[in-house]
Amino acid sequence: MGDFNEIVHVEERRGTTGLTQSAEDFKSWIQDMNLVDLPLTDWKFTWFRGNSCSRIDRVLVSLEWLEEFSDAHLRGGPRGLSYHCPLIVEGRKLRGGPRPFRSLYSWFTHDGFLRMVKEEWRGLGELQFTNKLKALTGPLGRWHKANFGEIDKMIIKFEEEIKRIDDMVSNGVHDGTLEARRKALVKCCERWYVRKEVHWKHISQSRHVNEMDRNTRYFHNIASTRRRNNRIDTLVINGRLVRNQARIKVAIREFYKDLYHQEDSPIMGFRDGLVV
């Protein structure tokens, strides 16, 4: 942890429109070493000088460290007279509220997903909307496990069948039916590859990787880190920075009560995997 004197994303330096070669090299090095760049929860930049702002201070951890300290998160402290703000790694667990209802982009790649949701929704009758969402989590969880719980096994199954056909062709067995079956298997296998990629890219939202990585352990840890840091532990209320979770919950609740009270017909829908 410390001042690496380099950014890895364009938005980490004010006024920048592209990364330098040294920044690209640093970004690649982080990925090659399978390091996780801990997200900063309450600061956008860590270095200030006049009108210049950058996030050049960071904490890079190994997968083994992240597994050992799974509840750790990173925040910035007041910089005082320094150009840099201090980085604080905390291990305390924050008490979160009820989990939001979420959907995964990968579900929409399955032909039967929307049909299943419509059938389950109609079967819930006249329950309130929020109670319906809560009741829907059970069927969704079972459907996800049945259709996406063994993605790797499904891919391996198709790959083995394709290889078996290739072996038959190598031994001189070939006809139109065999070729048609191979094309169908390849199409199914490609569909599962897409589902797997969409699934992990959505969960991880990793900016470190442009293409799908076979290192699923890396993606698991990126996803876990994002979930830990994708929550509000500080909030500016009436000009004051508040860390008390009870006060934060009350302020958020009152904000949305006022917001929806002003709306004649609030619109419900999916956005970024959340129902809003």
Check residues 9 and 200 and name the one with the higher pLDDT.
9
Confidence label for 267 from pLDDT (cuts 50, 70 and 90): very low
More confident residue, 36 or 175: 36
Does pLDDT of 51 surpass 80?
yes
> Which range scores top for mean pLDDT: 97-111, 219-233, 258-272?
97-111
The more confidently predicted of residues 126 and 225 is 126
Say whether pLDDT at 108 is over 70.
yes
Cβ-contact 76, 88 below 8 angstroms: yes
Residue 179: HSE in the Cβ half-sphere, 13 Å Cα cutoff:
4
Look at 25 and 178; give whichever has higher pLDDT.
25
The CA distance from 263 to 71, in Å, is 39
Among 143-147, 154-158, 205-209, 251-255, the range scoring the smallest mean pLDDT is 205-209
The answer to whether the Cα torsion of 62, 232, 247, 276 is positive or negative is: negative
Of 56, 60, 74, 72, nearest to 29 by C-alpha is 60
Q: What is the mean pLDDT of residues 147-153?
A: 75
Rg over CA atoms, the chain: 24
pLDDT more than 70, % of the chain: 77
